[in-house]
Amino acid sequence: MRPLRYSINVTLDGCCDHRAMLFTGGVTLPQALTELGLIDEYELVVHPRLAGHGPALFAGLSKHVGDAR
């Protein structure tokens, strides 16, 4: 099976709120896939802006997401 890469637009403060920028996506699907250990690689497109509110991609996960190397 090929590796699964998840790509999402985020602000400098880690928010993924479509109201804070023009791009954006939800965090429910990637959080569920992360909890199941199914995402192999994350591609975060960081926009030079602070949202100050909204959902954050890694908020509320049961374990730390980090580099396994």
Task: Name residues of the chain where pLDDT drops below 50.
Answer: 69
User: Rounded to an integer, what distance in angstroms lies between the CA atom of residue 59 and that of residue 61?
Assistant: 6
pLDDT at 69: 45
For the question of whether the overall pTM of this predicted structure is more than 0.75, the answer is no
Q: Are 39 and 33 in contact (CB under 8 A)?
A: yes
Can you tell me the distance from the alpha carbon of 53 to that of 37, in angstroms, rounded to the nearest whole number?
Answer: 27
Domain extents in the chain: 5-47
